[in-house]
Every structure is written in structure tokens, then in C-alpha cells.
């Protein structure tokens, strides 16, 4: 779960990391009032996407009326595909230098990784590899002074700045661990006078740890259908095509989408019904697919734990209760396959045995062959 | 010979009395796996269909030789159970659960490394040395003994491919599910190293997917160290960037982990990449000149 900048900064502040004076505003009046109080400010649209400046989502002003007008334009508008529901009003910083600082998870090494650069304020992917400071953290020892000494040495900053960065790193690591973050990024980390301040915050919390992070506000990035799927325990992603897909298992679902593309079609979604979906869950999954009005449905079941007769029964139930107005192609193999095939045959559907044949057929149907 | 698991491997099931645990214990026993103990806190002294159940792992290892353990434990409690097994000296740990917090996974890997425990998963279907010992949830009937080693990041896709192999007359030596999470224990390189040494294994099928750099690292390793034929299949060619395709690890982020990059890495290492899952047996025929 990605946090908005203002939420990230609240967390940074809670852990004692310096952030600019400011506050979040949900209305133009609040933004104007904050500006009147602070003086010279930067106003930033709160969306879960970078490159806000280029999109017109950041403005500098010292006039409260202008702050109000700008916020009125921004609030409720769409920026980089996201609706702006709040703006952050912050004191404008005197910037001497911009650095980059982050702690993330290094999947390959299976440990946290510090990323730092003396070049901040730009996309970290644009920083040349040799100018990037990378240091692995061993979770059994954590953020020790020797680690911060090495990071600040490689950043080549003054002693005064190094001491502050060391302090920020220790606090950021505590936040990273205690808040179950996957990413805690400060970009830019600004040197203002002799003070180091976090001018931005990008924090992502591990979705799998939300059960123990109940104090955090929930940030909903999913579409309505994706949210519904999540509640049903299904893994679902909306895509742009017209063939709805359901399979069991993430890998086989991806492979099914690939096959549709291979034969010249386009999938409407990724839906992994899980390795052991029963009749009920399969039926709910089918209804979800139908709600997006696809032109065909492709069901690909390789039954290990999933029982083919359960899937067939779910299909029959949904057809009876709410009707299925589009062609359905089913591939059915594995546990209780014969029973499943019989159930479908009674409905006039001849299930495929091979997944590529089923995918090819679904594409043909949509293309009108 | 196969790798990791053998006919005499003795296995513990943590969470043996739960719904999943009991169902899959029966499946494993019917496959021929030697399940010698179960752990279920509060149920020590009971037995599950003849298998002794202990209150703790420490109690189990005082009475039984245990070579490997499998966890059927809900994700929020998996870290404690994994620590318990590692602390008791168990050398192979299979982490079935999906949705284990990533910080817990990192803690488990660090502790396992310090104690010399091999971790499979999390979010894996398990590991099987076909015809000898199965520790996991894969359907028994597709895993027949043979000479092909298989290593995969995903479950059902692996069954699909092993199913295709079986239908074409290819059995398997050892099949390892690495797991779909971002932080997992065994990786492609670890398993390739073992399969290269294994005399039973004649060729390796690698089932990868988009996201991360595990396939690229495997390709580097193969180029320098693997003499046996390797056939790869990769899922996620059609996946759009930035979208997590079911598995936590299956996401193209900031231009990394793309399908094209992985195919290029494999081809540079002399690995044939099958376009479609059903092509894998034909690729093996060619590689093994059958």
C-alpha cells in the first residue's frame, strides 16, 4: 500500500525526521489559511504518482488568495490519471543541495538495502550506477553506526551534514521495520543552510503486514472491481482487452493471458481464482467477470486442489441464476475432470483438454470466426 | 539420486491437525512420504491417523529423527513456527503459506542462514523427488520418476508443464517450487547447482516469470556452470508494467524484470526458451536427441 506524501511525512515526523512546516488541505479555504499562516509556501497535489511538477501539480506562492485559487483548480481534478483529493501546503525551503536517501528490500539478497545518492531530486533510475551508494543491511544487526559512517563517507558530505544523515538513517530504518515498509524513500533530502530536511516522502507498506498495522489509514488504489475481488479472496487486475479470463494459480493465469496475446487477442483481466477455489468462490469470480461486459470468457482450470466438477457446477449455477450472455470457452483438466465434463456437456459445452486450443478458440470467437 | 529429498527423508508437519494440514498430510502419506511427526500446540500426546503429534518442535525432535518440516500455518504466525523449526535444528524447511510479511521472510532467511537450514518458499507448492518423497501440495499423479529436473516460481503452471512432460513420457527427478514471493529461500541458481551434480537428472526445465532478477541470475550461472541442457518457459509476456500479476514478485517495475530482458539473458546463455507451455517436451526431445 502506497502512502500519500503527507501521510509519509507524518510518519517521518513521528520518528523524529525533520520535515518542512506545513499541513494538508482538503479545501481551497484550508489551503489559503495555511498559506496565510506559513507565508512563502509550496503547494503539492497529493496523488500516488511521481512527476507531479511536470503535470502542473506543484506551485510556489506567498499569496493566500493565489493558494486558494490554485488549490480550487487542483482539488477534484485528475492528474496523471489520479483524482486529487488533497493538497499539501508546506513552507518553501531554501535549497543548497538535494540528496537521495532510501531503504528498500533487495529481493535477490533477501535483506534490506540502503540506497543513497549525492544527486537527489531526480528519478533514482536516472542516477548513474557509479554515483549510487548501495549498502546491504543484515537484519540481525540492523542499522549500526559503522553503516551510517560508510554511507555518509561515500556521499562526501560535511561532518555537520553527515551527523544529521546518520541520525535520519537510524530513524528511517526504525520506521522501515516497525511500519512493515517495503520502501521508505526521501527524494529529495534537502540541505537547507546547515539543516537536513525531508522535502518529499514515498513510503510503501507491505500489504501482507496490514493486519498488524491497523493504526495506518487505508489508501485505496484499486478500482471498485479490484476491491470486490480482493474481498472475495481473488487476485484480480483489470486490463484493456475484451476476453475475460479466469484460471487457478498466478503463473497459469499469466500464461493464459500470454496465449491470448499469442493468438492475436487481448485479455480483459487477470483473475487468479486460487489453487483451491470451491463452487461459491468460482461463481462469485464468474459474476465479477460478467460485470465488466466482456465479449467472451475463457476459463482455464488445471485441477490439482481445485476440483473440475466444482468449477463446472459454479458455471451452471451462475448461468441458471443470472444468465451468461457471452460465449464461454472452458478448458478442464485434473481432479474430477470426467464429472466436470459431464456437467458441462449437459449444458451443451464441450470442454477443451489443452489450454492453447481453448485460448485460440476464445480469440476466434471474439474476432467473429 | 534426485536432490534435497530422498526415499528415507523423515518429515514433520507443523499444523498437522488443521484443515489444510490434515488433508495434505494424507496426500503426502499416500504418495509415500515418511511423515514421522506432527506439531500442533495444545495437542501434544495425541496422534493423527497413527502419526504422533507433539506440542512443540523441540519435543518432536527429541523422539524422532526429522530431516525436513513443512508449515501449514496461517501467515501471521508463520515466522514463529519457522523460527521454531530452525531453532530445533531442522535442515530443510518448506514454507507453504502465502502472504507472509516481507520483513518476516527476511528475518526467517537470516536465521536459517545462520543455522544452515535450507528454506523452500514461502508461497510455494513445495518440493518433490518423484516416486520417493513429496513435501508439498502438488497433485500426486503427475509426479512420476524420471530424468528431468524442474524448478519453478509458480505452482499450477508447473503442474501444467510437468503434466505435459508426463504425457510425453518424461518423468521427473526432483521438482522444486521456489515460491511466488519477492523474498524466498532457494533460488534458481541454488537448485541448478544441485541438479547439475545429480546423476539422475539429464536435463532441466526452468519455469520462470516476469519480475525480479532471478531468471537473469540463473542465466549467468548456467552460462558458466551448467553443462546439462536447460529449457525455459517464462510467463507474463503480455503483462503490463506496474501491475502485480497475482504473485507478489511478478511485477515489472521501473523497466526491470521484463519478459524481453529475461529471454535475452537466457538466449545468451544457450538456454532454449519455449514460447508456449506445450512446446517444452518437443524442446527436450531436441536437446536430448530423442
pLDDT for position A306: 80
Q: Is B156 within 8 Å of A267 when comparing Cβ atoms?
A: no
The x, y and z cell numbers of residue A249, run together, are 494459480
- Which string of DSSP letters, residue by residue, matches A107-119? TTTTEEEEEEESS
Give yes or no for a contact between B89 and B61, defined as CB atoms under 8 angstroms apart.
yes
Q: Pick the residue from chain A with its C-alpha nearest to B139.
A: A304
ipTM of this complex? 0.92
Extract the runs of DSSP E, i.e. beta strands, from A16-96.
22-25, 41-45, 58-61, 78-79, 82-83, 87-91
Residues A256 and A332 in one domain: yes
Q: What does the buried/exposed string (b/e) look like for A287-311 if buried means 16 or more CB atoms within 10 Å of the residue's CB?
A: bbbbeeebbbbbbbbbbbbbbbbbb
Give the domain CATH number at A332.
3.40.50.261
The CA distance from B217 to the nearest CA of chain A, in Å, is 9
Instruction: Write out A240-303 in H/E/C secondary structure.
Output: CCCEEEEECCHHHHHHHHHHHHHCCCCECEEEECCCCCCHHHHHHHHHHHHCCCCCEEEEEEEE
User: Is A197 among the domain residues?
Assistant: yes
B208: nearest CA partner in chain A? A251
Pair (A362, A229) in one structural domain: yes
Peptide bond into A175 cis (omega under 30): no
d(CA A127, CA A186): 15
Residue A6 domain-assigned? no
Is A204 within a domain? yes
Longest Cα separation, chain B: 57
pLDDT at residue number B182: 92
Closest approach of chain B CAs to the CA of A6, in angstroms? Answer: 23
Which chain B residues touch A303 with a CB distance below 8 Å? Answer: 139
Query: Residue B187: its chain A contacts at CB < 8 A?
Result: 108
The answer to whether residues A231 and A327 belong to one domain is yes
Q: Burial code of A54-79, b = ≥16 C-beta within 10 A, e = fewer?
A: ebebbbebeebeebbbbbeebbeeeb
Residue A266 domain-assigned (yes or no): yes
Cell numbers describing residue A206: 507491505
**Host domain of residue A268:** 224-366
Phi and psi, residue A357, nearest 5°: -65, -40
Which pLDDT value is given to residue A49? 82
Chain B residues touching A245 at Cβ < 8 A: none
Q: B95 touching A, CB under 8 A?
A: no
Cross-sheet strand order for the sheet of B172-177: B133-136, B126-129, B172-177, B145-152, B203-209, B230-235, B272-274
Contact A251 B182 (CB under 8 A): no
CATH (domain of A101): 3.30.470.20
- The tens-digit pLDDT sequence of chain B (290 residues) is 899 999 999 999 999 999 889 999 999 999 999 999 999 999 999 999 999 999 999 999 999 999 999 999 999 999 999 999 999 999 999 999 999 999 999 999 999 999 999 999 999 999 999 999 999 999 898 999 999 999 999 988 999 999 999 999 999 999 999 999 999 999 999 999 999 999 999 999 999 999 989 999 999 999 999 999 999 999 999 998 888 888 877 887 767 789 999 999 999 999 999 988 999 999 999 999 87
Q: Is residue A13 part of a domain?
A: no
Q: Which residue has the cell 554515483?
A: A131
Does the pLDDT at position A53 exceed 90?
Answer: no
A84 and A123 assigned to the same domain: no
Interface contact flag, A250 B245, Cβ < 8 Å: yes
pLDDT tier for residue A354 given thresholds of 50, 70 and 90: very high
Alpha carbons within 13 angstroms on the beta-carbon side of residue B139 total: 24
Q: Which of A112, A239, A259 sits opposite B106 (nearest CB)?
A: A112
In angstroms, the first-to-last Cα distance of chain A is 43
Q: Is B242 on the interface with A (CB under 8 A)?
A: no
Which strands, in side-by-side order, build the sheet including B34-39? Answer: B47-48, B51-54, B34-39, B10-14, B68-71, B92-95, B118-120
Residue A14 lies in a domain: no
What does the block give as the cell for A280?
461459491
Do A194 and A231 lie in one domain? The reply is no
Q: Which three cell numbers stand for residue A101?
A: 536517501
| Segment A271-318, tens digit of pLDDT | 998 766 778 888 888 889 998 899 999 999 987 778 899 999 999 999
Please enumerate in sequence order all residues whose Cβ is within 8 A of that of B52, keeping only pairs 6 or more positions apart, or say none.
B36, B37, B38, B60, B63, B64
User: Do A192 and A148 fall into the same domain?
Assistant: yes
- Which of A4, A5, A30, A100 is the catalytic position? A100
A5 closest CA partner among A58, A61, A63, A73 = A58
Residue whose cell numbers read 551508494: A133
Per the CB < 8 Å rule, is B239 touching A253?
no
Count of structural domains, chain A = 3
| A195 pLDDT more than 70 | yes
Mean pLDDT across the stretch A75-99? 94
Three-point CA angle A236, A239, A244, nearest 5°: 70
Between the alpha carbon of residue B216 and those of residues B153, B209, B224, the distances in Å are 14, 11, 13
Query: How does pLDDT run across A57-84, given as a tens digit for each residue?
Result: 999 999 999 999 999 999 999 988 889 9
Structure confidence by residue, pLDDT tens digits, A212-261: 999 998 888 777 888 888 888 888 999 999 999 999 889 999 999 999 99
- Window 28-87 of B, Cβ < 8 Å to A: 75-76
Contact B163 A333 (CB under 8 A): yes
Cβ contact, residue pair A270, B245, below 8 Å = yes
Q: Domain boundary at A212, A243, A268, which? A: A212
Cα of A252 vs its chain's centroid, Å: 22
Check CB contact under 8 Å for B152 and A260. no
Domain stops at, among A156, A191, A212? A212
Measure Cα distances from B265 to B147, B251, B268, B273 in Å. 25, 18, 5, 10
Q: Do A75 and A101 belong to one domain? A: no
Give contacts of B276 with chain A, Cβ < 8 Å.
259, 262, 356
Same domain, A70 and A202: no
Find residue A102's DSSP bridge partners. A115, A185
Number of residues assigned to chain B: 290
Contact in structure between A201 and A14 (CB atoms under 8 Å):
no
Whether residue A180 and residue B101 make contact (CB cut-off 8 A), yes or no, is yes
Q: Is residue A219 situated within a structural domain?
A: no
pLDDT for the residue A369: 67
My answer on whether A122 and A194 are in the same domain is yes
| Chain A contact for B224 (CB, 8 A cutoff) | no
A100 is catalytic: yes
On the question of a cis peptide bond just before residue A188, with omega within 30 degrees of 0, the verdict is yes
Mutate to test the interface with B, among A221, A255, A308 (most CBs of B within 10 A): A255
For chain B, give the secondary structure using H, E and C.
CCCCCCCCCEEEEECCCCHHHHHHHHHHHHHCCEEEEEECCCCCCCEECCEEEECCHHHHHHHCCCCEEEECCCHHHHHHHHHHHHHCCCCEEEECCCCCCHHHHHHHHHHHHHHCCEEECCCCCEEEECCCEEEECCCHHHCCEEEEEEEECCCHHHHHHHHHHHHCCCCEEEEEECCCCCCCCCCHHHHHHHHHHCCCCCEEEEEEECCCCHHHHHHHHHHHHCCCCEEEEEECCCCCCCCCCCCCCCCCECCECCHHHHHHHHHHCCCEEECCHHHHHHHHHHHCCC
Chain segment A328-346, per-residue pLDDT in tens: 999 999 888 999 999 999 9
Among A186, A212, A238, the domain-final residue is A212
Query: In this structure, are A69 and A105 located in the same domain?
Result: no
Give the closest-approach CA distance of A23 to chain B in angstroms: 30
Q: For chain B, how far is it from start to end, CA to CA, in angstroms?
A: 23
Any chain A CB within 8 A of the CB of B220? no
Closest CA to A275 of A244, A242, A251, A243: A251
Residues A345 and A228 both lie in one domain? yes
CB contact under 8 A, B235 and A254: yes
- The per-residue pLDDT of chain A, averaged, comes to 93
Calculate what percentage of chain A has a pLDDT beyond 90: 73
β-strand A58-61 against A41-45: which pairing, if any?
antiparallel
A261 in Cβ contact with A205 (< 8 Å): no
Residue A345 lies inside a defined structural domain of this protein: yes
We report the CATH number of the domain holding residue A87 as 3.30.1490.20
How many CB pairs below 8 Å do chains A and B form together?
Answer: 158
- What confidence tier does A191 reach under pLDDT thresholds 50, 70, 90? very high
Same domain, A54 and A106: no
Q: Give residue A174's pLDDT.
A: 98
Amino acid at each position: 500500500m502506497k502512502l500519500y506524501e503527507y501521510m509519509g511525512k507524518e510518519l517521518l515526523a513521528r520518528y523524529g525526521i525533520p520535515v518542512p512546516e506545513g499541513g494538508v488541505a482538503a479545501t481551497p479555504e484550508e489551503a489559503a489559511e495555511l498559506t496565510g499562516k506559513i507565508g512563502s509556501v509550496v503547494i503539492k497535489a497529493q496523488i500516488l504518482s511521481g512527476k507531479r511538477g511536470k503535470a502542473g501539480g506543484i506551485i510556489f506562492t506567498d499569496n493566500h488568495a493565489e493558494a486558494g485559487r490554485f488549490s480550487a483548480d487542483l482539488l477534484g481534478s485528475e492528474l496523471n490519471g489520479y483524482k486529487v483529493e488533497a493538497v499539501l501546503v508546506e513552507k518553501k525551503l531554501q535549497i543548497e543541495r538535494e540528496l537521495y536517501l532510501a531503504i528498500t528490500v533487495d529481493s535477490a539478497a533477501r535483506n534490506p538495502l540502503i540506497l543513497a545518492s549525492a544527486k537527489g531530486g531526480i528519478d533514482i533510475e536516472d542516477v548513474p550506477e557509479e554515483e549510487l551508494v548501495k549498502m546491504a543491511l543484515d537484519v540481525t544487526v540492523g542499522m549500526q553506526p559503522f553503516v551510517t559512517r560508510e554511507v555518509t563517507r561515500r556521499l562526501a558530505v560535511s561532518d555537520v551534514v553527515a551527523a544529521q544523515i546518520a541520525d535520519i538513517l537510524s530513524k528511517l530504518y526504525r520506521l522501515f521495520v516497525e511500519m512493515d515498509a517495503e520502501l521508505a524513500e526521501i527524494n529529495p533530502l534537502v540541505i537547507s543552510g546547515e539543516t537536513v530536511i525531508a522535502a518529499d516522502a514515498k513510503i510503501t507498506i507491505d500489504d501482507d503486514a496490514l493486519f498488524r498495522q491497523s493504526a495506518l489509514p487505508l489508501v485505496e488504489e484499486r478500482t471498485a472491481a479490484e476491491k470486490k475481488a480482493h474481498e472475495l479472496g481473488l487476485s484480480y487486475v483489470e486490463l484493456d482487452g475484451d476476453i475475460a479470463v479466469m484460471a487457478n494459480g498466478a503463473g497459469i493465469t499469466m500464461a493464459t493471458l500470454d496465449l491470448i496475446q499469442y493468438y492475436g487477442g487481448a485479455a480483459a483481466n487477470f483473475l487468479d481464482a486460487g489453487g483451491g477455489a470451491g463452487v461459491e468462490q468460482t461463481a462469485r469470480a464468474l459474476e465479477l467477470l460478467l460485470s465488466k461486459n466482456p465479449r467472451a470468457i475463457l476459463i482455464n482450470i488445471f485441477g490439482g486442489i481445485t476440483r473440475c466438477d466444482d468449477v463446472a457446477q459454479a458455471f451452471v449455477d451462475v448461468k441458471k441464476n443470472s444468465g451468461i450472455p457471452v460465449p464461454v470457452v472452458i478448458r478442464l483438466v485434473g481432479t474430477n475432470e470426467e464429472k466436470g465434463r459431464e456437467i458441462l456437456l449437459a449444458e451443451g459445452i464441450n470442454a477443451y483438454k489443452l489450454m492453447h486450443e481453448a485460448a485460440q478458440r476464445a480469440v476466434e470467437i471474439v474476432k467473429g470466426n | 539420486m534426485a536432490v534435497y529429498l530422498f526415499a528415507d527423508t523423515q518429515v514433520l508437519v507443523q499444523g498437522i491437525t488443521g484443515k489444510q494440514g490434515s488433508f495434505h498430510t494424507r496426500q503426502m502419506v499416500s504418495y509415500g512420504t515418511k511423515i514421522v511427526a506432527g506439531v500442533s500446540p495444545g495437542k501434544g500426546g495425541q496422534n493423527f491417523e497413527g502419526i504422533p503429534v507433539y506440542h512443540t518442535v523441540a519435543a518432536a525432535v527429541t523422539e524422532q529423527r526429522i530431516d525436513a518440516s513443512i508449515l501449514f500455518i496461517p501467515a501471521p504466525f508463520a515466522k514463529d513456527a519457522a523460527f521454531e523449526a530452525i531453532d530445533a535444528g531442522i535442515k530443510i524447511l518448506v514454507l507453504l503459506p502465502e502472504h507472509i510479511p516481507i520483513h518476516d521472510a527476511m528475518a526467517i532467511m537470516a536465521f536459517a542462514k545462520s543455522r544452515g537450514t535450507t528454506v523452500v518458499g514461502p508461497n510455494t507448492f513445495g518440493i518433490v523427488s518423484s516416486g520417493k518423497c513429496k513435501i508439498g501440495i502438488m497433485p500426486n499423479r503427475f509426479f512420476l520418476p524420471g530424468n528431468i529436473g524442474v524448478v519453478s516460481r509458480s505452482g499450477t503452471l508447473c503442474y501444467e508443464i510437468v503434466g505435459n512432460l508426463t504425457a510425453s513420457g518424461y518423468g521427473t527427478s526432483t521438482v522444486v517450487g521456489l515460491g511466488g514471493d519477492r523474498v524466498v529461500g532457494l533460488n534458481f541458481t541454488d537448485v541448478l547447482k544441485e541438479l547439475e551434480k545429480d546423476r539422475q537428472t539429464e536435463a532441466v526445465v526452468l519455469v520462470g516469470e516476469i519480475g525480479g532478477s532471478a531468471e537473469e541470475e540463473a542465466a549467468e550461472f548456467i552460462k558458466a556452470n551448467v553443462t546439462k541442457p536447460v529449457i525455459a518457459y517464462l510467463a507474463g509476456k503480455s503483462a503490463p508494467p506496474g501491475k502485480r500479476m497475482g504473485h507478489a514478485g511478478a511485477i515489472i517495475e521501473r523497466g526491470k524484470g521484463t519478459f524481453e530482458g529475461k529471454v535475452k539473458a537466457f538466449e545468451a546463455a544457450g538456454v532454449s526458451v519455449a514460447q508456449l507451455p506445450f512446446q517444452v517436451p518437443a524442446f527436450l526431445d531436441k536437446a536430448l536427441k530423442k
